[in-house]
Structure 1
């Protein structure tokens, strides 16, 4: 018996593999995607670092601007500056021959008050490096960071209002181009500077006081003096110097943002940086370099252009003159009197430490702001 097996070929149908699901479409993120809290956190990210690193330059700047109007009899609570004979003779001649400088010198708010202790060595500050050495040696290293708490208290809300305000106005403005950046930057600074003006006044006064070593009651004394001024002259005394501060900060911001946007395009194309891309290590470093350099260049130019107003602001805020004549005096007349009686050099006192502070401050703030925005976009 034979068994024959017949088998037919088995055909297997091979189905093509399932296609991969399509990648979801993601459009490039935009600044408008950020929520208000994200913008606020982005604006606050560099405030602490900037304050700790750059506060000493603020102290030195204020001391250099203040020493030009200090009377020779009481330049440092009770000691004399060890100044060169020619400089001393020139300043004594100015006091003797002018009616503007001498009254101002007798009204420094901390003279004849219990704000500071006597200073044995009160050397005149002529450079940023000498300021570091002189203040740290004669008054103690912590003096260079005096007012850091007020700086932090002021910097965070000011930067939040400034950066978020600038981008909100810019994104909703019908104007475009460099004019838009200028106007939006000026408007944002107007709001920010007005909001923190009382804290700026107290901080400037606190940093202007020379002392042999830190006085734990110094801040309370300054606050008590400010409250006494409020009782005597009204709430407007807390905004002393605000007008000239706005003349400094509003043009500064207009110049800064206009130059920043221009430099951002140039450096951005040079480094091939994409500010609309999600977080990526290589692109993040390019964005950081672009924003850091752009902020540094824009901040330096704006600081030089507006420095005379910074000199006037410091002098007004550390003076005790609340007379009607001072209030009626216009800002330009005030600066012109400084120019006429002390020369153009007086209007640029402390320029070195201010530029050294402003350039990295702008660079750190804007680069950390841009990087944090990219983080939130992703």
Structure 2
């Protein structure tokens, strides 16, 4: 689509060169990502709760219940609010991790992308996504997921036996009892999972978006949602084993494993390879919704921030003209 392929050089007949890929500003990426992450975390939390409960059941040797059985039992015992046990930890963590993820990914993209087009090669996109995932895993996901896992596990007990009352008191109690290491249990598998998640998810979405916008057009919210959902499906099936190992290492029974590799081999030997995909259905539901929601909100938040910036600049210019 370059002008070199046209037969005429007149303005009316010449084709426009390929549009340069949008380059997000770091602050906008952080704000838009954090907002998208918070909304997505709250909207999809019940599926995360169900997935974690299913993995706990398998780890304890019990017959794994189905998603609907978990929902029915939880609502019957604690009401609808029971499906949101540990929600505050995930929502707060989701906001931070999404902000860090998009900030890291967009910053790395800016550093390694083609200077002329702003495009990334596939290997560079995967590397950028993996590094962004490592950053969000270390700074946001590991502590928030460790706390969320404990709160969900604690929420299964009768009220009189529960150790934690909420996000803040629960976090403080874990740190008092186990030190800062208590909320960083499973750091290595969490970083590995997030690195793999982001590499697959962001690369899949970026590839689909590049194909959809290669002619310079903008995508609508529905199209963005579907691309994000597709990225979520691919991510679930490729990275589920990391999620299972992470959950095992962050549970109260994590002492039976000596580390990530030992957890992986133990589960493989004792429970078989299919156990690594236990909890796939609720996680698949969550990441389909998550991918669609987070990318749609992120793109719209970026557009809104760009619009507000332009309006602010126009106001400053207008005031300048008036004052002059």
> Residues 273-301 of structure 1, C-alpha deviation per residue, up to 9 Å, x if partnerless?
724xxxxxxxxxx4322321111111111
Pair 1:218-2:165 in alignment? yes
Q: Which runs of 5+ in 2 are unaligned?
A: 1-18, 115-119, 308-324
Task: Tell me the TM-score normalised to structure 1 length.
Answer: 0.67
Among 305, 323, 339, the residue aligned to 2:268: 339
Aligned residue for 1:263? 208
Aligned residue for 1:208? 153
Aligned residue for 1:300? 233
Aligned residue for 2:286? 357
How many residue pairs get aligned? The number is: 279
Aligned residue for 2:121? 177
Aligned residue for 2:65? 125
Structure with larger RCO (C-alpha < 8 A, sep 6+): 1
Pair 1:148-2:138 in alignment? no
- Work out the CA distance in 1 between the residues paired with 2:89 and 2:185: 17
Shift, 1:216, TM fit:
9.1
Aligned residue for 2:105? 166
Shift, 1:244, TM fit:
1.0
- Work out the CA distance in 1 between the residues paired with 2:51 and 2:279: 5
Task: Tell me the TM-score normalised to structure 2 length.
Answer: 0.77
Alignment partner of 1:45: what SS? helix
- Work out the CA distance in 2 between the residues paired with 1:224 and 1:369: 34
CA RMSD of aligned residues (A): 2.6
Aligned residue for 1:193? 137
Among 173, 176, 179, the residue aligned to 1:227: 176
- Work out the CA distance in 2 between the residues paired with 1:320 and 1:287: 46
Q: Which has more helix, going by share of residues?
A: 2
Q: Which runs of 5+ in 1 are unaligned?
A: 1-27, 73-86, 88-123, 276-285
The answer as to whether partners of 1:201 and 1:239 remain within 8 angstroms in 2 is yes
Runs of 4+ aligned residues of structure 1 deviating over 6 Å after TM superposition are none
